[in-house]
Amino acid sequence: VTFKYNGSTIVPGDQGVDYETFKRKCTDDVRLFGFVRFTTGDAMSKRVKFALITWIGEGVSGLQRAKTGTDKTLVKEVVQNFAKEFVISDHKELDEDYIKNELKKAGGANYDAQTE
């Protein structure tokens, strides 16, 4: 699910099941918040983890960038349970594998297909 700006007000945006659709909404001229569900784990155990992603496009003004930080506290009143929070302005950091890897690290012990 996304939360976007309508003027200076934060409103619910879109919801969906495809991470690529979310990434396409992260353009250089917008700032938005995404509450994204990822499945992590290994062959033995799958876990669902949530991430709160704050996207601030490269074309967003300095004043709006600064205001996004304080606005995020309002979003956190609605979205309270997530494994990790990200503030991203670079499209490369939106890579799904990068986000999943960071969520896996935040999850603590990692028993991915260990062999002796």
In the chain, which residue ranges form alpha helices assigned H by DSSP? 19-25, 62-78, 96-106
In a domain, 20, yes or no: yes
In a domain, 116, yes or no: no
DSSP 8-state symbol, 92: G
Q: What is the mean pLDDT of residues 5-28?
A: 93
Strand blocks (E) in 16-70: 31-41, 46-56
In a domain, 115, yes or no: no
In a domain, 112, yes or no: no
- By mean pLDDT, which of 1-15, 37-51, 52-66, 84-98 is the weakest? 37-51
In 2-61, which residue ranges form alpha helices assigned H by DSSP? 19-25
Q: Is the pLDDT of residue 116 over 50?
A: no
pLDDT in tens, 32-48: 999 999 988 777 778 89
Integer Cα distance of 103 and 41 in angstroms: 10
**Domain tally, the chain:** 1
In a domain, 33, yes or no: yes
Mean pLDDT over each residue of the chain, to the nearest integer? 89
Which residue range forms the structural domain that includes residue 60? 2-85
Q: Predicted confidence band at 9 (pLDDT cuts at 50, 70, 90)?
A: very high
In a domain, 12, yes or no: yes
Q: What is the CATH number of the domain that holds 71?
A: 3.40.20.10
In a domain, 40, yes or no: yes
In a domain, 90, yes or no: no
Task: Please give the helix or strand (H or E) that residue 4 lies within, else none.
Answer: strand 2-6
